[in-house]
Chains A and B, each alone.
Chain A
Amino acid sequence: MKHKKAKKYGMVINLDKCTGCGSCMVACMAENNVPFRKDESDKLLSITWMRVYKLTNGKPFPNTDICYLPRPCMHCEGQHEGHSPCVTVCPAVATDYNIETGIVSQIYTRCFGCRYCMASCPYKARYFNWWDPVWPDGMEKYLSPNVSPRMRGVVEKCSFCFHRYQMAKEKAFMEGRRELKEDEYQTACTQACPAGAITFGDLNNPNHAVYRMVKPDPKHHGRPTNPNAFRLLERLGTNPKVYYLSSREWVRRVGDNYLKNESIAKKTVHQG
């Protein structure tokens, strides 16, 4: 396959390797200046760009099996490029689909907080700033200077550490290069995962690990051809750029909704 010029950055998360340690969540929060409050017991108010779900097969001991599923923003492509559920609905173009990278970004200074994008996202990957960020004394000195903190009343979400992409591009430009090497742009969660469960790269580049791991089918909006790979809610037609790998069928089945007695193989992809 010829390498296309436009990038399509994506992520592959091997659920068989994930231990649920939460390093990705911590790294993400630190990297992106994600605010937190003294009392974070109400998880429906917590901002977690990367959130780890604990899944179970529902079977009693000794057949119980669990799986941890890290869920960043899926950076959906939709049925055609830029037709992500959230991008199309935002009334003020505060959610942007970058056609050069495939990354869905949130423009905080443009967002006026209508929350329509949150309603549109089936992955609940979008978070609203119900409060202004308040950092513990001294912690503001440890904030990342490359990421702007968000104010009250706007929506935020995982950006695939887009600032890292920008910095890598700047560095490459200074060195007289146009193309980035695979390891030059990696997200914080990818680098933080101690089990190496997260892989990040260009899904359009056959030389990148993510491509080799899932073998996306360009004729079907990047649907994985690796039988162990799947995307969350494949049938909705959101076409996420985050793929999951698992050798366990029950885990792959949990990734989508199926009618009773319907097998994964028989699933049809909605083309809405």
Chain B
Amino acid sequence: MDSALIPRGVKRCPLWQFLLFISVVGAVLLWGVYAMLLCWIKGLNQTNMNDYYGFAIWIWADLAVIAVGGGAFFTGLLTYIFGKDELKSIINYAVLIGFICYSSALLILAYDIGQPLRGWFIFWHANVHSMLTEVAFCLSCYFGVLTIEFIPLILENRQIDRVPFFHHLSHNMHEIMAVFAATGVFLSFFHQGSLGGVAGVLFGRPFAFREGILIWPWTFFLFTWSAAACGPCFTILITKITETVTRKKLVKDSAIELLAKISGWMILTYIIAKTADTWYWATVTAPSMGQTLMDFYSNNPLYGIWILFAEIVICGFVPAAILITKKGRKNSVALWIAVILAVVGVCINRWVMVLQVMAVPVMSFDYWAMYFPSWQEIATTILPVAYGIILVGLAHRYLPVFPDESELNPIETLPAEEEETVEPPVDLEQELKPAEA
């Protein structure tokens, strides 16, 4: 029924199956939308946040999706600026994932603020000294860049591409994509960094505060570094999940292995820098404020030293060790483990820099604050995930996201399968033909 929209040379599941899948995920999406409307209409009293926990699961989700969405800018850098042509097999998907992550981040911010209708104040009454201002500007600009990077892919839809204007527009946008990729890298450096700065500048919170260079705390650089390191792992992870769900190979091994290798070295260098940062903070910064490392990891039911070990060793050095070795990258199971650990690691880091910061008492007579999100918070956090799955589903079905898919999955034209092949009926082709001038 929708075969005229499906790219040539690839096979897709029957429409009913696709619609069923979209409906199930769509139900979850609607649940999230309902919760979002509750928060907008009734206010943030729908959450379990309180005056001790002013930042909570949404901000973590925001930081986490931006970190894992870093695969877009870093893969773009490697593909368009450093000329790693092997990555052209995965760059479209990296951009799509980045687009989903960043649009989700902006959506989350829209319901996280107490007065959503005043959201534009951050641009209009901007405080140039605030890291959050920098985040807002760079994030919005980079989302614009991602949209520009995503548009040519939409224009490559089989029917849209038949319109000469769109065909040429898409072609010309591809030609100058290096410019947008470079802009994206520049903007990403600043918004990833300023998200790190959001926590690092909190000199009233010894758990978060870090020294640094000029106005930038070390977390500024560590956040950019970790996003560039772990973002590609998320791209690989989502690619692997998509391949598992669709039961076909979508990206060439050479692309995955190259990305995994670069990511592995990035993670290794990042985690060494993170270890050095942690060491300095634990032995110099925190003691200068009268606190020891264990003050931040004891006397509470959740935040033990295990979380630091999990972040740095299990989800840092372990995936790095796997990904920098050829054997590790070529072993499917090891690769899966490595990319999952790397993604979990960067998410733990963002969790720690948001939620644990809120939990740790600063005044000597204050107490640890624990928090568990309300169902509205959980639903609105799952909402972007459902939205992402739907967008991936639609893009995979109707857009040539994976340029090597037809080569990797040649279609045998058996008569029995004709019904499911992508060749559209002749009359439909004619119907959709654009008028000639």
Interface residues of A (CB under 8 A from B): 42, 44-47, 53, 55, 69, 76, 85, 88-94, 110-116, 118-124, 126-132, 151-155, 232-233, 235-238, 253-260, 262, 267-268, 270, 272
- B121 near A110: Cβ-Cβ < 8 Å: yes
Once A90-B130, A92-B121, A112-B113 are accepted as A-B contacts, the answer to whether A122 and B50 lie under 8 Å apart by CB is no
Once A55-B365, A126-B51, A272-B211 are accepted as A-B contacts, the answer to whether A91 and B204 lie under 8 Å apart by CB is no
Number of B residues, CB within 8 Å of A:
53
- A127 near B51: Cβ-Cβ < 8 Å: yes
- B113 near A232: Cβ-Cβ < 8 Å: no
Interface core residue of B116, B129, B198, B291 (most chain A CB under 10 Å): B129
- A91 near B51: Cβ-Cβ < 8 Å: no
Q: Which residues of A contact B434 (CB under 8 A)?
A: none
Bound CA span A122–B112, Å: 22
User: B49, B203, B211, B369: which contacts A238 (Cβ < 8 A)?
Assistant: B203
Bound CA span A111–B365, Å: 30
Cβ-closest 10 pairs across A and B: A113-B114, A153-B114, A257-B290, A118-B54, A44-B50, A115-B54, A112-B118, A122-B204, A122-B362, A85-B204
Once A115-B114, A128-B114, A131-B43 are accepted as A-B contacts, the answer to whether A89 and B205 lie under 8 Å apart by CB is no
Q: Which residues of B contact A47 (CB under 8 A)?
A: 51
* B367-392, CB < 8 A from A: 369
Q: Which residue of B lies closest to A132 (CB)?
A: B43
Interface residues of B (CB under 8 A from A): 43-45, 49-55, 112-116, 118-119, 121-122, 124-127, 129-133, 136, 198, 201-206, 209, 211, 287-292, 295, 357-358, 362-366, 369
Q: Which residue of B lies closest to A129 (CB)?
A: B114
Minimal beta-carbon separation of B329 from chain A (angstroms): 40
- Cβ contacts A to B, 30 pairs, < 8 Å: A44-B51, A44-B369, A53-B365, A88-B129, A91-B122, A91-B130, A91-B136, A92-B121, A92-B125, A93-B127, A110-B125, A112-B116, A112-B122, A114-B113, A114-B114, A116-B198, A118-B55, A119-B205, A121-B204, A122-B204, A122-B362, A128-B44, A128-B54, A129-B114, A130-B45, A152-B114, A153-B43, A238-B203, A256-B364, A272-B203
Bound CA span A170–B369, Å: 44
Minimal beta-carbon separation of A79 from chain B (angstroms): 8
Q: Which residues of A contact B133 (CB under 8 A)?
A: 91
Known contacts A47-B51, A94-B121, A254-B365; 9 additional CB pairs below 8 A are A69-B365, A92-B125, A110-B121, A116-B132, A118-B55, A122-B363, A123-B204, A130-B45, A238-B203
Bound CA span A129–B115, Å: 11
Bound CA span A115–B132, Å: 11
Q: Which residue of B lies closest to A271 (CB)?
A: B288
- A92 near B122: Cβ-Cβ < 8 Å: yes
Q: Which residue of A lies closest to B291 (CB)?
A: A257
Minimal beta-carbon separation of B3 from chain A (angstroms): 47
Bound CA span A50–B125, Å: 29
- B50 near A112: Cβ-Cβ < 8 Å: no
- B51 near A114: Cβ-Cβ < 8 Å: no
Bound CA span A253–B364, Å: 9
Bound CA span A262–B291, Å: 11
- B54 near A270: Cβ-Cβ < 8 Å: no
Q: Which residue of B lies closest to A84 (CB)?
A: B204
